[in-house]
């Protein structure tokens, strides 16, 4: 069971990091001309913030219930 919780924590952290930093970086690389408008629209999208907050909550829950992040148990 610990491996599944650890995998969920790692996956949630990856979704959090990619959603917050990775997607705007990719948008900047693909379309540098419209960078400001695209990133502004991206951060105004409520679905993005839903998944970012949900994944952060899962990482926080796993860290809180087990006392530490389980990245090392996998």
* Residue 33 to residue 36: CA distance in whole angstroms: 8
Report whether 10 contacts 58 (CB < 8 A): no
pLDDT band at 64 (very low <50, low <70, confident <90, very high): confident
Among the listed residues 57, 58, 52, 63, the one whose alpha carbon sits nearest the alpha carbon of residue 18: 52
Q: What is the pLDDT of residue 74?
A: 46
pLDDT band at 19 (very low <50, low <70, confident <90, very high): confident
Percent of the chain with pLDDT over 70: 70
* Residue 74 to residue 67: CA distance in whole angstroms: 16
Mean pLDDT of the chain, nearest integer: 71
Q: What is the pLDDT of residue 70?
A: 52
């Amino acid at each position: 069971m610990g491996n599944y919780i650890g995998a969920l924590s790692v996956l949630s952290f990856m979704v959090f990091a990619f959603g917050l930093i990775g997607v705007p970086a990719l948008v900047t690389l693909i379309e540098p001309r419209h960078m400001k408008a695209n990133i502004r629209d991206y951060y105004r999208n409520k679905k993005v913030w839903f998944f970012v907050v949900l994944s952060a909550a899962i990482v926080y829950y796993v860290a809180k219930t087990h006392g530490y992040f389980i990245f090392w148990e996998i």
